[in-house]
Structure 1
Amino acid sequence: MHYLPEGRPVLTVSTLGAPGEGLGTVLGWLAEHGVAGVELRLAPGQIAAPAMTRQDRARLRSEVADAGVAITGLASYIRMADPAPDELVVGALEAALFLAADLGAPTVRVFPGAPTEPADYQQVPVTTTARNEVNALAAGRLTAVGRLAEDLDVFPALETHDSHPRGEDIAAILGQVEGRVGAVWDLMHPWRVGEGLEDTWNILAPWLTNGLGSVQVKDAGLPESRTPVTIGDGTLPVDGFAQLLKDRGYTGLLCLEWEKAWHPDAVRLDAAMGSTRAWYLRHWPDRPAVVEQAAVGQPAPDLPAVSPGEPPVSAQDTVVETP
């Protein structure tokens, strides 16, 4: 599946914001706030877990689809520049790609994850191994899964995070990858280390607009606090972020990554979804987000807009599976 919406980004929500909550609760919150996409956190004990059986995978996919929701990606914790042996890292990514294919998710989020020296949160960390070697290691592993990714039609997407917080850091890896791959632009990380919004976009655009990339919105009171706050109540440039996406015509996935799993004092995910939906509609009020088959010139279906409190548009109406 690939998500190529018409007119505005597709709003989706990560289950990182719902630690300990069951699938039914999450789906209920999505319906309450008119959100038709969910990114599933991939970890043991979560709604999507690495050791799921075939039956569990089929059941999860069916339950989500029956609720009119599309699984827009799997958020794994695989670190492409981890010093572990290649077979362990590549094997973990291959297993995640198979799981994503079974669930109908188009991408698997991965991290750079190179070991680093201690650094202030507002500084780009120094890798313990030469950065060019780290980048080559990560790129080689992403290249190694290229054929499988093509066969499954599911692709890895590398996030601005940890050892590589800026767009330029991620591009230094992705530019070496042979095969299709996406980028995930987490608003917080490039911004906290001083990379401007336009710089991040300009650097990552090839991997954000190829049908495999996505962006993440969040807010917090940096630099004093990393605890998530409702969108617009913190110091992150969320409105400038939205305006840039509008100006650049971005129509990919826009995910609320509510980090309640790491910050238990943050408000519940459903409250965060309400503020995010309001922020979203302020910037994209006119046209409904739709999903169409990846074909040049193919017209998008005429779908009604979804308002807060209304059920999301059916996944069967908004998602076209590609062979």
Structure 2
Amino acid sequence: MKYAFSTLGLPGTPLDRAAALAAHHGFHGLELRAHPEEPLHTATPAAERAAALRTLAASGIAVLAVAGYARVAAPGPDEPVLAELRALVRLAADLAAPYVRAFPGGGDPPGPDDDTRAVRRLLAAAPFAERHGVRILLETHDSHRTGAAVARVLGGVGHPGAGALWDVLHTWLGGEPPDASYRALAAHLGYVQVKDVRSARDLTPVALGTGVLPLAEAVAAVPRDGWLCWEYEKRWYPAAELPGLLAGGRAYLHGLAADRPRGPRGHGQA
């Protein structure tokens, strides 16, 4: 199993520093938050993208995904959403990243029109992503927080350029057990985003294994050759600090992966 962490935990940190932290603590990759507040985003010039790729290669760190903010189920015209998805795909391709993260962003509760918009936009964007060697992953989040809801959309898309990102927090908040989330998402799964929080009412990030999320059950459900990405949301909780937790977090994930039962979902080493 391979491990990454999100730069949401290191807001505004230069890429060389984030990559050095990842390498030092035994992580294999980074999920890059693509926002104008960050070093890399869709307006970053080509020369800076190339320099970033060289920095990452020198550190031995891969970009697992470009974490964008396109909302594929949101009301409104399609073209701005599609333009945002295309820009994120180009950024991911320039950074040799296999995935782009997208949010649902539909209504609360979601209605049939939300699914229809999401399917239509992903169907339009998925071939473009595939041509660039990238897959757009719809995260279990906001209006479609369960695996069942995301799988419902992706079943309507049916294209290899679109898939799922399983955020364990949101499926848990949606009342969906990890094994049910995995069953719903297995045919679409790109990678799994893990985190830990104090409670359902207090989502302040805490060290992995010290909160309430069913992380052992989630890790046990996913393939042995997959990626686990730790999303520590410092950007939204300024008092939180990630660097001092990285060693323990990496060890915790490795322990969960090593302890999981061997079975039909894969064999091999974590």
Q: TM-score, normalised by structure 2?
A: 0.92
Pick the structure with greater CA Rg.
1
Residue 143 of structure 1 deviates from its aligned partner by: 0.5
**Hey, what's the Cα distance between the residues in 2 that align with 1:163 and 1:224?**
18
Q: Which residue pairs with 2:147 in the alignment?
A: 167
Summarize the alignment of residues 42-121 of structure 1 with structure 2, pairs less than 5 Å apart. Answer: 42-116=34-108
SS at match of 2:235: coil
Matched, 1:38 2:30: yes
From 284, 287, 311, the equivalent of 2:257 is 284
User: Contact between 1:42 and 1:75, CA under 8 Å: does it hold in 2?
Assistant: yes
SS at match of 1:113: coil
- Number of aligned residue pairs: give it: 261
Q: Which residue pairs with 1:151 in the alignment?
A: 131
From 195, 207, 213, the equivalent of 1:230 is 207
Q: Deviations over 1:205-260 (max 9, x none)?
A: 0011xxxx110110011124100000111011112222333xxx342111000101
Q: Which residue pairs with 2:220 in the alignment?
A: 243
User: Contact between 1:13 and 1:37, CA under 8 Å: does it hold in 2?
Assistant: yes
User: Contact between 1:105 and 1:154, CA under 8 Å: does it hold in 2?
Assistant: yes
**Hey, what's the Cα distance between the residues in 1 that align with 2:134 and 2:233?**
25
**Hey, what's the Cα distance between the residues in 1 that align with 2:201 and 2:145?**
19
Q: Which residue pairs with 1:311 in the alignment?
A: none
SS at match of 2:63: strand
**Hey, what's the Cα distance between the residues in 2 that align with 1:135 and 1:66?**
42
| Structure 2: unaligned runs, 5 residues or longer | 260-267
Q: Percentage identity across aligned positions? A: 38
Residue 283 of structure 1 deviates from its aligned partner by: 2.4
From 9, 13, 18, the equivalent of 2:5 is 13
**Hey, what's the Cα distance between the residues in 1 that align with 2:192 and 2:150?**
14
Change (3 A) 1:16 1:71: same
**Hey, what's the Cα distance between the residues in 2 that align with 1:283 and 1:236?**
13
User: Contact between 2:179 and 2:217, CA under 8 Å: does it hold in 1?
Assistant: no
**Hey, what's the Cα distance between the residues in 2 that align with 1:254 and 1:182?**
16
User: Contact between 1:40 and 1:47, CA under 8 Å: does it hold in 2?
Assistant: no
**Hey, what's the Cα distance between the residues in 1 that align with 2:63 and 2:146?**
27
**Hey, what's the Cα distance between the residues in 1 that align with 2:106 and 2:258?**
40
Q: TM-score, normalised by structure 1?
A: 0.77
Q: Which residue pairs with 1:274 in the alignment?
A: 247
RMSD: 1.8
**Hey, what's the Cα distance between the residues in 1 that align with 2:12 and 2:37?**
9
**Hey, what's the Cα distance between the residues in 1 that align with 2:244 and 2:230?**
12
Residue 190 of structure 1 deviates from its aligned partner by: 0.9
SS at match of 2:186: helix
Residue 285 of structure 1 deviates from its aligned partner by: 4.2
Matched, 1:255 2:229: yes
| Structure 1: unaligned runs, 5 residues or longer | 1-8, 117-125, 287-299, 307-323
Q: Which residue pairs with 2:263 in the alignment?
A: none
Q: Which residue pairs with 2:15 in the alignment?
A: 23
Q: Which residue pairs with 1:195 in the alignment?
A: 176
SS at match of 2:165: strand
Amino acid at match of 2:174: V
Higher relative contact order (CA 8 A, sep 6+): 1
Amino acid at match of 2:6: S
**Hey, what's the Cα distance between the residues in 2 that align with 1:243 and 1:86?**
38
Higher helix share: 2
User: Contact between 2:6 and 2:30, CA under 8 Å: does it hold in 1?
Assistant: yes
**Over 6 Å off, 4+ runs:** none
